[in-house]
Amino acid sequence: MWSISTTELVLDFDNPVGSVLMRTSLSKIPRVLVIGLSLVVCGMAPPETVLEQITFDEEGSPRTISGRVVVKAVDGGLLVQERDGRLWTVPAEVLQKRVTTQTPFRSETSKDMGKRLVAELDRSVAPGFHVTHTRHYTIVSSADPRFARWTGQLFERLRTAFLAFWKGRGVKLSDPEFPLVAIVLKDREQFSKFVRRGASFDPTTTTGYYSILSNHIVLYDIARVPGQPPAATSVEIRRRLSTAPRAIATVVHEASHQIAFNSGLNRRLSDNPLWLVEGMAVFFETPDLKSRSGWRTVGRVNRARLARFADFVQSRRGRGSLQSLVGSDRRFRESDSAADAYAEAWALNYFLLRTRRKQYASYLKTVSAKPMLTWDSPEKRQAEFEAAFGKDWDELDRMFLKYMGRVRSR
Ligand SMILES: [Zn+2]
C-alpha cells in the first residue's frame, strides 16, 4: 500500500537560506492530487497499448482525458498517460467512467503538440505564442523567436553530450517516446503568471523548472534586458548570459532532468533517490555557451558546490552522512539542510563517476528499472547502494573525503 504526497512530485525546491545556486523547481500538480491520493498498487504490468477515455470528478465537475493506463491500483485507481506524455493520477474515489477504444496509443506528433500548446497558452496566458521545432524539442514560446531557437539548439547540444557521456560509460539510453517540450515565456512577469496558474509555489526566486507530471521544462527569456530590444544574434545572447551564470546553470540543470527522465535513465513517478537525480543534474549543469555543436563542460568541477561541500565537511557534517543522504530524500526537502545535501550529492556523484565507473553504471541500471508509484524504505535504498558500492560505509566515506579534499576548482 502506498500514498503519495505532493512533495514527492517535486524536484528542486526553493531554499531561501541556501546556496545562491539553489533554485525552485516544483512540479505542476493537478488539483486531483491535492484532494489526497491514496491508491494501492497491484504490481507493474506493461502499459496498456490502446487509448482509453477516462472521466473523473475534478472539484465537482466531470473531466475526460484520453490516454493509456500505465498503472492500475487494486482499489481501481489509475495512473493515466495522455498522448503528450502528461501523467494523471486518478484515485478510485473520483473515477467516474473508463471507456476502452480500439485506437492504439501513440505519442502526439511534435507538430500537433506545438499547435495545441500555442492555442492553449494564447488563451490562458497571453496572445503571441509561436513554435520552434528542433530535432527533439518543441519550443513553445512568447519570447523573441531568436531566443527560442537558441534555447532549442542549446538543449540539443546538451542532449547529445548527455547521451554520449553515458554511452561512454556503458549505459545504454533510449530515444524519448514523446517530443520534449520547453515553454519559454517572454519575461519574468509572464513566467510568474504562468507558474501561478497551476502551482502553489513562489515563482519569484526561480528561472526555470522541470515538471515530472507534465514533462515540460518552463523558463523565460533570461537574455532579455528590460528597456532594451531582444538580443538579435546568438553572440549577443551569449554576451548577456555571461552576466547571469546562475540563471543559465538553472536552465541547463532543469534540461538535464528532462533528458534523464526521457532517456530511460530515470523513470517518472518512481523512487529515484534524490542524491542520484540531483547530484547528476548538478554534474551536468555547467553550461557550454561557446561551442556551436559540442559541449565540453560535462563534469567540470562545480565551484559553488565544492565550496559549499568543503564548508559542510568542516563545520556541520556528522557521522553517517552518506547513509542519510542515500537512505532518504529528507535532507533535500528541508530548507535548512538542502544546500548541503545538493553539495554532498554533487560531490558523491563526482567521486563515484570518477572512481567507481562500473559500479555506478550497475547502480543506475537498478534505479532505472524501478516500478512507478512504489517508494522504497531507507533500508532498501541503502541495501541497493551497498550491492553496487560495498557494505563498508566508513571506508567509502574515508576514501570519499580524501578524494574530494584533493579536488580543486579549475
Ligand atoms: Zn534538480
Which CATH number, 2.30.30.520, 3.40.50.720, 2.40.160.40, 2.40.50.140, labels domain 4-104? 2.30.30.520
- The model's confidence at residue 133, banded by pLDDT at 50, 70 and 90, is very high
Measure the CA–CA gap between 407 and 397, rounded to whole angstroms: 15
Q: Which amino acid is at 377?
A: S
Report the range of poorest mean pLDDT among 192-201, 322-331, 337-346.
192-201
Q: What is the pLDDT of residue 9?
A: 47
Q: Which of 314, 366, 384 is nearest to 343 (CA)?
A: 314
Q: What is the pLDDT of residue 245?
A: 85
75 exposed, middle or buried (CB, 10 Å; 0-12, 13-18, 19+)? Answer: middle
User: What ranges do the domains of the chain cover?
Assistant: 4-104, 110-266, 303-406
What is the Å distance from ligand 1's center to 23 Cα?
Answer: 8
For residues 113-125, average pLDDT: 97
**Which of 179-188, 219-228, 241-250 has maximum average pLDDT?**
179-188
What are the pLDDT digits (tens) for 7-43? 334 456 443 222 222 222 222 233 333 333 334 444 4
Q: What is the pLDDT of residue 17?
A: 26
What is the Å distance from ligand 1's center to 144 Cα?
Answer: 27
Task: Indicate whether 390 pLDDT > 70.
Answer: yes
What is the Å distance from ligand 1's center to 406 Cα?
Answer: 26
For residues 325-340, average pLDDT: 94
What is the Å distance from ligand 1's center to 272 Cα?
Answer: 12
**Percent of the chain at pLDDT exceeding 90:** 67
The three cell numbers of residue 409 are: 576548482
Task: Indicate whether 1 pLDDT > 60.
Answer: no
Residue 78 β-bridge partners: 72, 90
Q: What is the pLDDT of residue 29?
A: 30
What are the pLDDT digits (tens) for 185-207? 999 999 988 888 765 566 667 78
Residue 215 vs residues 16, 64, 177, 179, 221: alpha-carbon distances, Å? 26, 20, 11, 10, 20
Q: What is the pTM of this model?
A: 0.88
For residues 98-115, average pLDDT: 96
Tell me how far apart the terminal alpha carbons of the chain are, to the nearest angstrom: 48
- The model's confidence at residue 104, banded by pLDDT at 50, 70 and 90, is very high
What is the Å distance from ligand 1's center to 87 Cα?
Answer: 19
The three cell numbers of residue 190 are: 509572464
For residues 59-73, average pLDDT: 93
Average pLDDT over the chain reads: 86
Instruction: Write down the H helix ranges in 126-284.
Output: 145-167, 188-198, 234-241, 245-261, 274-284
What is the Å distance from ligand 1's center to 343 Cα?
Answer: 12
Measure the CA–CA gap between 188 and 265, rounded to whole angstroms: 31
- The model's confidence at residue 48, banded by pLDDT at 50, 70 and 90, is low
For residues 358-384, average pLDDT: 94
What is the Å distance from ligand 1's center to 258 Cα?
Answer: 10
265 within 8 A of 364, measured Cβ to Cβ: yes
What is the Å distance from ligand 1's center to 250 Cα?
Answer: 8
Q: Which amino acid is at 340?
A: D
CATH class of the region 110-266: alpha beta
Task: Indicate whether 155 pLDDT > 80.
Answer: yes
Instruction: Give 386's contacts (C-beta < 8 A, 6+ positions apart).
Output: none
Residue 96 vs residues 41, 57, 66, 77, 90: alpha-carbon distances, Å? 19, 7, 14, 11, 10
Q: What is the pLDDT of residue 329?
A: 94
What is the Å distance from ligand 1's center to 254 Cα?
Answer: 6
What is the Å distance from ligand 1's center to 141 Cα?
Answer: 23
What is the Å distance from ligand 1's center to 11 Cα?
Answer: 6
What are the pLDDT digits (tens) for 237-252? 999 988 888 888 899 9
